[in-house]
């Protein structure tokens, strides 16, 4: 049966999402073969290595850490039609709080940059498809899990939390309704501390209640959003 | 860089779920190397073939058709610790209405059988993990999509629909509440026809409204179940 076994090159491509006040962003590097194009950071699988290990290696190289929410997306095939070798790409996505990470020297060398989701860049192959597919998974998980808290710092304001939800779902939320629901679910707590360093009226800070995070889990109450439009 | 590229054997393993009155079942074949063990049906990727094509081939071989809901799950690695060759398993799951398919001659030759989810069989490697992972994806998608209608025939009764939801979610639902919600969502319609061939009082038949299936989609109303316990 061995003659049927296919040999392929396996690449792990990572969609690293970060959030800042401007919205949702993705970390891209300049393509080495065509300097006008950008690509997802990637690396090849080495014998006896796990796919998760490759994803962590890719993240470490660029932002010096990988202790975030990292998840396999799916296998993408034949994305690069110009490539004569049949390559299998295993997509991964990660969610990080941008404030906690700095670009490494290696990251700066590869011209790594954060790009807003709405910026239309020329990406190699169908890397847009891997980004879109990842974003859809995150949108879905947002309905019943605490996944997007990984984009926030430990302490955050309610307006920041709403902005994260709006950025990921790509919709405007009814703010009062959202506030009521999320507080009712008891998954965030006010920490009796105000945000500082802002010119506006200082907003109260909240933190995520890890002990109550099962509230988000399947079979429990789920966020049933009301949208403005 | 070519010396870094790993060569692996890639297997596509399929979790085929079916539903009958007894509950949710999965199609397994007897392992050829150890006749006391069972395994997921699988096949190897051939050069220039897509993973989806392998999954369809596996299903065709056993049940003569693959025009169902078929979805890639994720890559599972090193599941067979006794295997000296590093194998990558791409998991797939499929949902079929058992009434529409018959086991093929090839299926019968490989000793393929349907097993109830709660039966504890000895499976090779960690095939249980692939089944559990697939079932979790289906449970999640059930909250916001019409995925489990693929397990039902075109015409079904409300009790059948509730049994499918209960089998997949592995929980008892509040029947009156479920009935009210699903009818309110307008995703199923009564077809003015009764079930026959049953000794009980004939139940009304319904069909799924494909044109309204976006009701289930993200950003729309989602099923917010009430459970009995």
Dist. CA A138–CA A216, nearest whole Å = 14
Quick one: pLDDT band at residue A114, thresholds 50, 70, 90? Answer: very high
For chain B, where do the domains classified as CATH 3.90.79.10 start and end?
2-142
Put simply, whether B218 touches A (Cβ < 8 Å) is: yes
β-bridge partners, B94: B16, B70
Q: Which residue has the higher pLDDT, B43 or A185?
A: B43
Question: What pLDDT is stored for residue B223 in this prediction?
Answer: 44
| pLDDT tens per residue, range A10-39 | 889 999 999 987 789 999 999 988 888 999
Distance between CA B150 and CA B162 in Å, rounded?
14
Top CATH class of A153-216 equals mainly alpha
* β pairing state of B9-20 and B87-97: parallel
Contact B44 A6 (CB under 8 A): yes
| A residues 3-32 closer than 8 Å to B (CB) | 4-10
Average pLDDT over residues A200-218: 71
Q: For domain B2-142, give the CATH number.
A: 3.90.79.10
- pLDDT for residue B8: 57
Whether the per-residue pLDDT at A1 is higher than 50: the answer is no
- Pick the more confident residue, B84 or A131: A131
User: What is the per-residue pLDDT for B219?
Assistant: 34
* Mean pLDDT across B56-82: 84
Q: Which of A44, A18, A15, A40 is nearest to A30 (CA)?
A: A40
> Which among B51, B86, B139 has CB closest to A47?
B86
Q: pLDDT class for A225, splitting at 50, 70, 90? A: very low
pLDDT 10s digits, A42-70: 998 887 788 999 999 999 999 998 778 89
The most confident of A187-196, B12-21, B113-122, by mean pLDDT? B12-21
Put simply, whether B75 touches A (Cβ < 8 Å) is: yes
Spatial neighbors of B203 by CB under 8 A, at least 6 apart, are: B157, B158, B159, B194, B195
ipTM over 0.85 threshold: no
Q: Summarize pLDDT for B171-206 with one digit per residue, the tens.
A: 888 888 888 888 887 789 999 877 776 556 678 999
- pLDDT at position B187 is 83
- Do B47 and A86 make contact, defined as CB atoms within 8 angstroms? yes
**CB within 8 Å: B144 and A143:** yes
- Report the topology of domain B154-216: Arc Repressor Mutant, subunit A (1.10.10)
For residue A229, pLDDT beyond 50: no
Rounded to the nearest integer, the mean pLDDT of chain B is 81
The DSSP annotation for chain A comes to -GGG----EEEEEEEEEEEETTEEEEEEEE-SS-TT-EE--EEEPPTT--HHHHHHHHHHHHHS---SEEEEEEEEES--TT-SS-EEEEEEEEEEEGGG----HHHHHTT-EEEETT----BSTTHHHHHHHHHHHHHHHHTTS-GGGGGS-SSEEHHHHHHHHHHHHTS-B-HHHHHHHHHHTT-EEEEEEE--S-SSPPPEEEEE-GGGGGGGSTTS------B--
**Closest alpha carbon within chain A to B46:** A6
The answer, yes or no, to whether residue A204 has pLDDT greater than 80, is yes
Mean of pLDDT values over A182-208: 80
Strands B87-97 and B188-194: unpaired
């Amino acid at each position: 049966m061995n003659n049927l076994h296919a040999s392929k090159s396996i690449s792990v491509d990572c969609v690293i999402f970060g959030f800042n006040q401007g919205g949702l962003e993705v970390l891209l590097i300049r393509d080495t073969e065509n300097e006008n194009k950008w690509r997802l950071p990637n690396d090849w699988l080495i014998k006896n290595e796990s796919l998760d290990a490759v994803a962590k290696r890719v993240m470490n190289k660029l932002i010096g850490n990988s202790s975030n929410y990292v998840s396999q997306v799916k296998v993408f095939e034949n994305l690069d039609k110009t490539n004569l070798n049949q390559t299998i790409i295993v997509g991964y996505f990660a969610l990080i709080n941008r404030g906690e990470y700095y670009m490494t020297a290696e990251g700066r060398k590869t011209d790594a940059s954060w790009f807003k989701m709405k910026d239309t860049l020329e990406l190699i192959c169908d890397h847009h498809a891997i980004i879109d597919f990842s974003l859809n998974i995150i949108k879905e998980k947002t309905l019943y899990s605490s996944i997007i808290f990984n984009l926030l710092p430990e302490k955050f304001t309610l307006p920041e939390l709403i902005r994260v939800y709006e950025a990921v779902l790509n919709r405007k939320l009814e703010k009062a309704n959202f506030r009521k629901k999320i507080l009712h679910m008891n998954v965030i707590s006010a920490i009796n501390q105000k945000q500082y360093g802002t010119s506006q009226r200082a907003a109260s800070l909240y933190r995520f209640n890890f002990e109550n995070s099962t509230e988000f889990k399947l079979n429990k109450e789920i966020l049933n959003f009301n949208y403005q439009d």
